[in-house]
């Protein structure tokens, strides 16, 4: 868009200098809902993202131009483009910085996505919802892209099983993985790091024979929140396509009205 | 899916009789995330719904079959089907009741959707997010379908403008319309009932000339929450395609840390 | 507060007449956070409520006076007053209507509260959090007060137990009771309607011996969501201090990423 | 509590060794609702906190003892104790680590609190709600305590005011301050850092004369989100009782359906 002569007469308050000598680490917009298309093999999947976009503002600049974030995002997500991936976002992120005339910045997005799953015994299929996301960040001219996924699973308490004459308390858990991908890794693969570590994975549609299978599978496979977080971390650690990572597991305890949780970050002693 | 002989041997606990003599008004599943496709003219739009599906359970029946709700929904939202509309949902809803062997029931869904809007002066375009939804309900064999939309707008306080030497407090407001459609009405049209009643409508991307326009437009068009709710209701009342309705407006007051709100329901004195 | 001469000169825009001929069912303020004191025997408990207060506005009146809701609430919750109860709220509610010059209206509040519980075997004690609330509503000069409580419990699936060789899936559930109290009923008593119907009640602090007890108790006491809602309803029905009621149970299913739920309303066939 | 002989026979699964060689950065409980008492001068104020408590688990330990977090918290918040402050929490935090047999850990809490405010012209008083919190964290034996506060204010856009013939868009904003207190600073004082930087502060109860004052005050005092965040940071920087800090401002834009935001962290260039 060219600035028309009339528009040019409107004062541009944000471009004035500032003398408070304070760098703003992040300035931008957030909670912007915008559709996007991702790749769930073998085909693209349309979903809705919540976006957060910001730049670092040097101490001598008064303000940024908020509308340019939307302009960049609108172009990024237009029909006809390729499905978005972490790698593509990292590449296009440079255009955002250029458009905002900024050296450093960050874009974050989170969105639901779906994988069609086959129930373990009956074979009926249905779509399980996950949450995915990316963070692209540039600090001192160095850009990093993180991929995130939240996977719902079942956890069954080993202590409860061990000490009780029958039964064992179990509950829904959410496993959050955040990973720096050195090579592309599909959403299916990321999700499996979590599902394979759980007492049992979940399905939206289960017939009675499946429910029996899930119940017994979880009982045979008890895991503390500490086991879950370590088993997911072990899996990530052994995969050469994955660099730094962070795993967080939250158990919505069925014997309490609060959660148990655990976090592992790569690189800790 | 045919029930295999092996599956048939698994006891069907939910089908046993019950002698507590208590009808269950609604029993089913909720907070199920599942994708769907709707029609935002001139083309289909993919989005993600949160679904709530239930049936009424007679006093002599012990339980319902939860997995069948998912089976029905999965078929309803499969690729290749038409975009979902309130009318189509109302029609397919009968299949859900049949599958659940129920006379009465209810299905509710809510989803984000987007309309491309052109800024009032600069003409730049971007996608504004709204929330849509339907409720299909069958009571005594009579099915009703309600269409819902939530529209974000701007409200500017007439009292503040009137009493102040300059300025007027204004804020974001959400207008919720719930309507029984006697004929099909597009999402664009429903949204306009709200946007035309507001002090100003909103856009995600505004250039400076647009911002000037929105500011002045709102200042020239002050509305109390009572005015907003009445003006939207007046519009709905005069449209013959719309039967019963409910309008709710919430102003996220900029001079308080709480909201002002107002509700009109058709058919009240 | 007396209106000073200076204030009297400021135009009172809300008091002007209106000619759109539309009654507003509810107009007021919501999401107002304000502290209150309730009675958890044997002593008062301080907590924080989220308040929603509205009146019905006749078709010929332009607006209501929002600040008066806060004035009424501030007086209601001042230090030195008695702990608030449903009965007291119902009585003071008349003052709100008078202050707003309204015939009909509604006030709703919701707040966390705590009961000290003793673990079943070890005897250690801790505070479990519940949510309580009231709705006082006046329609055609008739005032009704509803008391609400949300109780977290454990549910264990009878089908899963029956069909599996070992174990049974279980999860946290929330039981919501809404009741018209014909006589005063303590929060302890209301909570017990829910806890006694559950597979097991919950505690924040459990030692290993307690965890064994809860696990086995739940396994011996399996309940579908349909059983839970009916058993709570049966209890309420047999208590003469309770008039109309509504029970809702939501199971945060541990084998799915969605909930199962059921609702019973008194007075249904 | 002494462990009885019978309890001692129950296997203690969490105390077994672990050979996955992975340190867990944080393991504990979260979303635990528990009451507490804080000091809002001149008197104590009862409120409800959401607590998150964790320890670091060395690579060779299998698990932690979750119930001990609740035991520690229950003792901390018992009646008869002093109101909780950041300093007191930092001190008692050592007991938590000792009870959990841990070197490093973290406790976080967030709670609503209220300050009685006098309207600027009419002088009527009412309680405005804020959110406070603390984080106490021990890393390598070094304990740090952070104090947090969220303050709702009004922001008015300088650009909108400058370019428009009349009016200016304004909205509610939330200012989040997180500060390391070198000396004790009252909640009133922390709140004032935010309120004094805003276009206008907020009150729950405003009469017409007050509304006029707030409207004009905001119009005379326009601030970008960049100005807000810098002005709050300047204030914190000049106060010797405050060490490191982080300020975040979010404007719930009234011309968009998304937010503008900005963050300053002390120590940045």
Query: Would you give per-residue pLDDT tens digits along chain B (269 residues)?
Result: 334 444 456 666 666 677 788 999 999 999 999 999 999 987 899 999 999 999 999 999 999 999 999 999 999 998 666 899 999 999 999 999 999 999 999 999 999 999 999 999 999 999 999 999 999 999 988 999 999 999 999 999 999 999 999 999 999 999 999 999 999 999 999 999 999 999 999 999 999 999 999 999 999 999 999 999 999 999 999 999 999 999 999 999 999 999 999 999 997 54
Interface of A with C in 170-209 (CB under 8 A): 170-172, 200, 202-204, 206, 208
DSSP per-residue string spanning B63-103: ---HHHHHHHHHHHT-TTSPPB-HHHHHHHHHHHHHHTT-S
Chains that touch C (3 or more CB pairs under 8 A): A, B, D
Structure confidence by residue, pLDDT tens digits, D76-135: 998 666 899 999 999 999 999 999 999 999 999 999 999 999 999 999 999 999 999 999
Structure confidence by residue, pLDDT tens digits, A24-70: 999 999 999 999 999 998 789 999 999 999 999 999 999 999 999 99
The verdict on a CB contact (< 8 Å) between D204 and C127 is: no
The verdict on a CB contact (< 8 Å) between C54 and B264 is: no
Flag whether residue A1 sits within 8 Å of chain D, measured between CB atoms.
no
What pLDDT sits at residue B42? 79
Mean pLDDT, chain D, whole residue set: 93
Q: How many residues does chain A have?
A: 269
Q: 3-state DSSP: chain C helix, strand, coil percent, rounded to 5?
A: 25, 40, 30
Q: Which residues of D touch B154 (CB under 8 A)?
A: 169, 254-255
Mean pLDDT, chain B, whole residue set: 93
Q: How many residues does chain D have?
A: 269
- Reference B151, options B168, B139, B136, B133; nearest CA is B133
What is the spatial distance between Cα C261 and Cα B27, in angstroms, rounded to a whole number? 6
Whether the pLDDT of residue A111 is over 90: the answer is yes
Flag whether residue A113 sits within 8 Å of chain C, measured between CB atoms.
no
Tokens 């013959």 map to which residue? B240
Question: How near does any CA of chain D get to the CA of B22, in Å?
Answer: 35
What is the spatial distance between Cα B202 and Cα B232, in angstroms, rounded to a whole number? 16
Contact (CB, 8 A) for C90 and C136: yes
Residue of B nearest to A14 (CA): B208
What is the spatial distance between Cα D163 and Cα D159, in angstroms, rounded to a whole number? 6
What is the spatial distance between Cα D93 and Cα D90, in angstroms, rounded to a whole number? 5
What is the spatial distance between Cα B151 and Cα C183, in angstroms, rounded to a whole number? 43
- Which of A167, A201, A219, A260 to substitute to test the interface with C, most C CBs within 10 Å? A167
What is the spatial distance between Cα B258 and Cα C25, in angstroms, rounded to a whole number? 20
Whether the pLDDT of residue C3 is over 90: the answer is no
Q: Which residues of D touch A225 (CB under 8 A)?
A: 27
Cis peptide before A55 (omega within 30 of 0): no
The verdict on a CB contact (< 8 Å) between D167 and B168 is: yes
Over its C-alpha atoms, chain D yields an Rg (Å, rounded) of 23
What pLDDT sits at residue B78? 85
Tokens 């009703």 map to which residue? B144
pTM of the model: 0.94
Tokens 């719904």 map to which residue? B49
Instruction: Select the residue of C152, C164, C212 nearest A163 (Cβ to Cβ).
Output: C212
Least confident of A11-15, C65-69, D39-43: A11-15
Structure confidence by residue, pLDDT tens digits, B78-125: 866 689 999 999 999 999 999 999 999 999 999 999 999 999 999 999
What pLDDT sits at residue C269? 45
- Reference D199, options D176, D177, D227, D178; nearest CA is D227
What is the spatial distance between Cα C178 and Cα C200, in angstroms, rounded to a whole number? 21
Instruction: Select the residue of D162, D230, D261 nearest A28 (Cβ to Cβ).
Output: D261
Strand, helix or coil at D19? coil
Whether the pLDDT of residue C81 is over 80: the answer is no
What pLDDT sits at residue A84? 95
Flag whether residue A163 sits within 8 Å of chain B, measured between CB atoms.
no
The verdict on a CB contact (< 8 Å) between B33 and C258 is: yes
Question: How near does any CA of chain A get to the CA of C253, in Å?
Answer: 7
The verdict on a CB contact (< 8 Å) between A269 and D23 is: yes
Whether the pLDDT of residue A240 is over 70: the answer is yes
Provide mean pLDDT across the span C119-141: 96
Provide mean pLDDT across the span C15-35: 90
What pLDDT sits at residue D78? 85
Tell me what ipTM this predicted complex has: 0.92
DSSP per-residue string spanning C125-165: EEEEEEEEEEEEEEETTEEEEEEEEEEEEEEE-HHHHHHSS
Residue of D nearest to A32 (CA): D258
Q: How many CB pairs under 8 A join B and C?
A: 145
Residue of C nearest to A162 (CA): C212
What pLDDT sits at residue C208? 96
With a CB cutoff of 8 Å and minimum separation 6, the contacts of C163 are A208, A211, A212, A215, B10, B11, B13
List beta partners, residue A201: A153
Instruction: Select the residue of B157, B172, B255 nearest D202 (Cβ to Cβ).
Output: B255
- Which of C15, C30, C33 to substitute to test the interface with D, most D CBs within 10 Å? C33
- Judged on CB neighbours under 10 Å (0-12, 13-18, 19+), C41 is exposed
Instruction: Select the residue of A159, A170, A257 nearest C208 (Cβ to Cβ).
Output: A159
Tokens 């189509």 map to which residue? B88
What pLDDT sits at residue D20? 82
Q: How many CB pairs under 8 A join B and D?
A: 127
Region for residue D215 given its phi and psi (left: phi exceeds 0; alpha: psi -120 to 50; beta: otherwise): alpha
The verdict on a CB contact (< 8 Å) between B215 and D163 is: yes
- Reference B171, options B98, B229, B256; nearest CA is B256
What DSSP designation does C169 have? -
B24 token code pair = 């269950």
Instruction: Select the residue of A13, A64, A265 nearest D25 (Cβ to Cβ).
Output: A265
Question: How near does any CA of chain B get to the CA of A260, in Å?
Answer: 22
List beta partners, residue A179: A147, A245
- Which of B246, B260, B266, B268 to substitute to test the interface with C, most C CBs within 10 Å? B260
The vertex-B98 CA angle with B94 and B102, nearest 5°, equals: 100
What is the spatial distance between Cα B87 and Cα B211, in angstroms, rounded to a whole number? 39
Contact (CB, 8 A) for D169 and B218: yes
**Sign for the pseudo-dihedral over CA of B112, B115, B116, B122:** negative
- Which of D9, D262, D265, D268 to substitute to test the interface with A, most A CBs within 10 Å? D262
With a CB cutoff of 8 Å and minimum separation 6, the contacts of C155 are C170, C171, C173, C198, C199, C218, C223, C225, C228, C249, C251
With a CB cutoff of 8 Å and minimum separation 6, the contacts of D59 are A269, D18, D20, D21, D22, D23
Provide mean pLDDT across the span C103-120: 98
What is the spatial distance between Cα B12 and Cα B20, in angstroms, rounded to a whole number? 19
- Reference A114, options A59, A187, A58; nearest CA is A187
List beta partners, residue D63: none
The verdict on a CB contact (< 8 Å) between A218 and C256 is: no
What is the spatial distance between Cα C219 and Cα C213, in angstroms, rounded to a whole number? 10
Contact (CB, 8 A) for A211 and A133: no
Share of chain B above pLDDT 70, in %: 92
Q: Which residues of B touch A67 (CB under 8 A)?
A: 124, 205-207
Residue A96: C-alpha distances to residues A68, A148, D149 (Å): 8, 21, 32
pLDDT band at D10 (very low <50, low <70, confident <90, very high): low
Residue of A nearest to D159 (CA): A13
- Which of A262, A265, A266, A267 to substitute to test the interface with D, most D CBs within 10 Å? A262
B205 token code pair = 């991307």
**Sign for the pseudo-dihedral over CA of B24, B25, B30, B36:** positive
Least confident of C5-19, C172-186, D29-43: C5-19
Q: Which residues of B touch D219 (CB under 8 A)?
A: 164, 166-167
Q: Which residues of B touch C264 (CB under 8 A)?
A: 22-25
Whether the pLDDT of residue C2 is over 70: the answer is no
The verdict on a CB contact (< 8 Å) between C226 and B268 is: no
pLDDT band at C10 (very low <50, low <70, confident <90, very high): low
Mean pLDDT, chain C, whole residue set: 93
**Sign for the pseudo-dihedral over CA of B155, B161, B163, B169:** positive
Tokens 């100003």 map to which residue? B200
Flag whether residue B94 sits within 8 Å of chain C, measured between CB atoms.
no
Flag whether residue B168 sits within 8 Å of chain C, measured between CB atoms.
no
CB atoms within 10 A of CB A58: 14
Share of chain C above pLDDT 70, in %: 92
What is the spatial distance between Cα C249 and Cα C259, in angstroms, rounded to a whole number? 10
Residue of B nearest to A74 (CA): B126
Q: Which residues of C touch B224 (CB under 8 A)?
A: 13-14, 62-63
Chains that touch A (3 or more CB pairs under 8 A): B, C, D
Residue of C nearest to A258 (CA): C204
Provide mean pLDDT across the span A125-131: 98
Contact (CB, 8 A) for A239 and A201: no
Q: Which residues of B touch A123 (CB under 8 A)?
A: 1
Share of chain C above pLDDT 90, in %: 87
């Amino acid at each position: 868009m060219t600035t028309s002569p009339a528009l040019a007469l409107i004062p541009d308050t944000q471009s004035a200098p500032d003398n408070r000598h304070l760098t703003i680490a992040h300035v931008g917009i957030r909670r912007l809902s915008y559709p996007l298309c991702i790749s769930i093999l073998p085909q693209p999947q349309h979903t809705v993202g919540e976006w957060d976009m910001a730049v670092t503002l040097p101490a001598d600049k008064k303000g940024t131009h908020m509308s340019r974030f939307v302009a960049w995002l609108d172009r990024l997500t237009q029909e006809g483009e390729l499905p978005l991936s972490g790698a593509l976002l990292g590449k296009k992120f440079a255009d955002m910085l250029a458009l905002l005339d900024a050296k450093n910045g960050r874009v974050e997005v989170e969105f639901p996505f779906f994988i069609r799953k086959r129930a373990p015994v009956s074979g009926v299929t249905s779509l399980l919802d996950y949450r995915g996301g990316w963070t692209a960040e540039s600090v001192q001219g160095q850009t990093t892209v993180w991929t995130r996924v939240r996977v719902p699973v079942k956890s069954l308490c080993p202590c409860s099983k061990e000490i009780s004459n029958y039964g064992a308390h179990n509950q829904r858990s959410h496993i959050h993985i955040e990973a720096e991908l050195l090579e592309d890794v599909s959403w299916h693969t990321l999700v499996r790091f979590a599902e394979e570590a759980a007492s049992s994975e979940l399905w939206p549609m289960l017939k009675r024979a499946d429910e029996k299978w899930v119940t017994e599978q979880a009982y045979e496979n008890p895991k503390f929140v500490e086991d879950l977080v370590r088993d997911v971390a072990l899996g990530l650690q052994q995969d050469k396509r994955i660099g730094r990572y962070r795993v967080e597991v939250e158990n919505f305890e069925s014997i309490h009205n609060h959660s148990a949780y655990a976090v592992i970050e790569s690189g800790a002693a």
